[in-house]
Amino acid sequence: MSDTPRQPPAPPVVKPGREDVDGTTTLERVPQKTEPPRLYQVLLLNDDFTPMEFVVMVLQEFFRHDLDTATQIMLKIHHEGRGVCGVFTKDVAATKVELVLAAARRAGHPLQCIMEAA
Ligand code: TYC
């Protein structure tokens, strides 16, 4: 997936601190502003073959939704074609997608799971 390249981490910015008793000065680190990490939605896509119970199980096991919420999300996907399972940092979202796809393939279901920048 395409991604805006980020700057490499900048070296620490320092400024001279107060003069020490021995006449030397120790450099002090200037706190840097960091951007919050970009977030990614993990989505499930509808298909005609994956059993509803399996999708509910995925939403409970991999996204920690309770039975009611998992059932509501599954039905939304069933009716609207896609639905958000959760929002995560990039690595966590990618791992969730891989785990869900692996579980679906292991169980013989064509369930599709994708991630999108939130
Ligand atoms: N449409 C499926 C069925 O009727 C259920 C389903 C829901 C499948 C959500 C995938 O992401 C999905 N068995």
> Is the per-residue pLDDT at 30 higher than 60?
yes
The enclosing H or E element of 99 equals: helix 90-106
Burial class (CB within 10 angstroms; exposed 0-12, middle 13-18, buried 19+) of 40: buried
Q: Can you say how many angstroms the Cα of residue 54 is from the centroid of all Cα atoms in its chain?
A: 22
Residue 61: inside a domain, yes or no?
Answer: yes
Q: What is the pLDDT of residues 71-90, one digit of tens each?
A: 999 999 999 999 999 999 99
Question: How many angstroms separate the alpha carbon of residue 4 from the centre of ligand 1?
Answer: 33
Whether residue 2 is contained in a domain is answered as: no
Question: Pick from 113, 112, 74: which is nearest to 95 by CA?
Answer: 113
**Number of domains the chain is built from:** 1
For ligand 1, say whether the CB of 51 is within 6 Å of any of its atoms.
yes
Measured in Å, residue 112 CA sits from the centre of ligand 1 at 10
Q: With bands split at pLDDT 50, 70 and 90, how would you rate the model's confidence at 24? A: confident
- What CATH number did the domain enclosing 66 receive? 3.30.1390.10
Closest protein CA for atom 5 of ligand 1: 52
The mean per-residue pLDDT over the stretch 103-113 comes to 98
Cβ burial of 42 (10 Å; 0-12, 13-18, 19+) is buried
pLDDT at 91: 98
Q: Which residues constitute the domain of residue 54?
A: 39-117
Residue 88 forms part of a structural domain? yes
What is the residue with the minimal CA distance to atom 13 of ligand 1? 51
State whether the beta carbon of 96 lies less than 6 angstroms from ligand 1. Answer: no
Residue 33 has pLDDT above 90, yes or no: no
User: Does 102 score more than 50 pLDDT?
Assistant: yes
Q: What is the position in ligand 1's atom list of the atom closest to the CA of 52?
A: 5
pLDDT range class, residue 4, cuts 50, 70, 90: low
Tell me, using a 6 A CB cutoff, whether residue 76 lines ligand 1: no
The answer to whether position 92 is within a domain reads yes
